[in-house]
Amino acid sequence: MEPSPKDGESAAAAEPSRPSSGVVVQVREKKGPLRAAIPYMPFPVAVICLFLNTFVPGLGTFVSAFTVLCGARTDLPDRHMCCVFWLNIAAALIQILTAIVMVGWIMSIFWGMDMVILASKYS
């Protein structure tokens, strides 16, 4: 005779354990063209760009645009180097022009943080 579950136990706990069939889920962040144009820079350069973006909105992003011309890779491999350069210049201009309402300044700081995160992941 099989023992019945006690008062504190559930019926599922009394059943023998079965192998669970798991589903593997992969999450990928989809980046827009401006965000995907952030270059993978050496860590010290990324920290300098973050510092510049913190105190002068858009300046670090402007400097990072020139690292693309020096061969820094981005998440836009199918685009030409000059196109990625101009995307970074556009991001810097957006940050500079909207800094007067604090949106650009906040965007600039987050942009610099993304540069440091990318540099630390892929250095």
State the pTM of this model.
Answer: 0.73
Least confident residue range of 18-27, 39-48, 54-63, 107-116: 18-27
Residue 118 has pLDDT above 80, yes or no: yes
Which amino acid makes up residue 55? F
DSSP string, 54-86: HHSTTHHHHHHHHHHHTT---S-TTS-HHHHHH
Q: State the average pLDDT over residues 81-90.
A: 93
Q: How does pLDDT run across 47-61, given as a tens digit for each residue?
A: 999 999 999 999 999
- Helical spans, DSSP H, in the chain: 11-14, 33-36, 43-55, 59-69, 81-97, 103-121
Q: What is the mean pLDDT of the chain?
A: 85
Give percent above pLDDT 90 in the chain: 59
Give percent above pLDDT 70 in the chain: 83
